[in-house]
Structure 1
Amino acid sequence: MAKKLYKISFLNHTKVYELYARHVAASGLWGFTEVSDLVFDVHEGLVVDPTEERLRDEFGATQVLHLPMQSIIRVEEVEKKGQAVIRDAASGEKVVTPFPLPGKPR
C-alpha cells in the first residue's frame, strides 16, 4: 500500500505556500492543524528549482508544522508530488527570488 500524500496550501505573510506532506491531522493545540513528514525533491548538485530550495531551507528541519486553521486554504490528497511553490496572495503569480546581479543595488 502506497503512503498517502497531501498538498497543503496556506497563507503565510501575504504569500500562499504550497507544500507536500505525508501526514495531516488535527493538532493537539486548539485551533491548529498538524502537518508532518514534509516531502521535498532531493537534487544532487545543481539547483533546479530555487523556490523548492527556499522551501527546503525554511522547512527542511521541521518535524511538525502547526498551522492555524484560518490560514489553511486547502488540503488535497494527491497521487504524486507536484512542484512546491510560493505565490503572491493577491495576484496568484509565483514568487521567484531573482539572483542578485553584481554591481546592481538591491
Structure 2
Amino acid sequence: MKSKKLYKVTFLSQGKTLELYAHQVASSALWGFTEVGEIVFDSQGEGVVIDPTEERLREEFGNTRVLHLPIQCILRVEEVDRRAPLAIRDATSGEKVVTPFPIAPPLRKP
C-alpha cells in the first residue's frame, strides 16, 4: 500500500508565519485560493510531553476539513518525507512566538 504524500505548508496569518502539515494541497474551486486538506497533527494523548505550538494550532485548525488560503499568503509548500515539530513565528522577525517547554526561569538579580 502506497503511503499518502505529506506536505509542509508555510503561510502568513495575522502577522504570524504558521506551519502546518497536510496530505492534500490543490488549487481551490474558489478563485485565488489554495486548498489544504487532511491536516496532520501528532496523535493526541500518546505521550506525556505536550507541545504548546501543536496544541495552539490544533485548537485553531483541529476541526477544519479543508482550509482555503489566499495564494498571496502562502510562502511555500514542500513535499516532505516526515513531519517535524510545528512552528509559529513572528512574520517580521522570524522569532518563535510560542516557546516549547522546558524553559528556564529568568535569573533573579541579587
TM-score (norm 1): 0.87
User: Cα distance, 1:43 vs. partner?
Assistant: 3.5
Name 1:58's counterpart in structure 2: 60
Q: Secondary structure at the match of 1:82?
A: coil
SS in 2 for 1:70: helix
Q: Flag structure 1 segments of 5+ consecutive residues without an equivalent.
A: 99-106
Q: Could you tell me which residue of structure 1 aligns to residue 22 of structure 2?
A: 21
1:2 and 2:3 matched:
yes
Query: What is the aligned residue count?
Result: 98
Q: Secondary structure at the match of 2:24?
A: strand
**Deviant stretches of 4+, over 2 Å:** none
Higher Rg of the two aligned structures: 2
Structure-1 residue corresponding to 2:104: none
* Structure 2 unpaired stretches of 5+: 101-110
Residues 26-65 of structure 1 show CA distances to partners (whole Å, capped at 9, x for unaligned) of 0000000000000001241645210100000110000000
Q: Which residue of 2 aligns with 1:101?
A: none
When the two chains are superposed, the root-mean-square deviation of aligned CA atoms in Å is: 1.5
**What letter corresponds to residue 79 of structure 2 in structure 1?**
E
User: Match of 1:83, SS?
Assistant: coil
Q: Which residue of 2 aligns with 1:80?
A: 82
Q: Is 1:37–2:47 an aligned residue pair? A: no
Q: Is the 8 A contact 1:47 1:53 kept in 2?
A: no
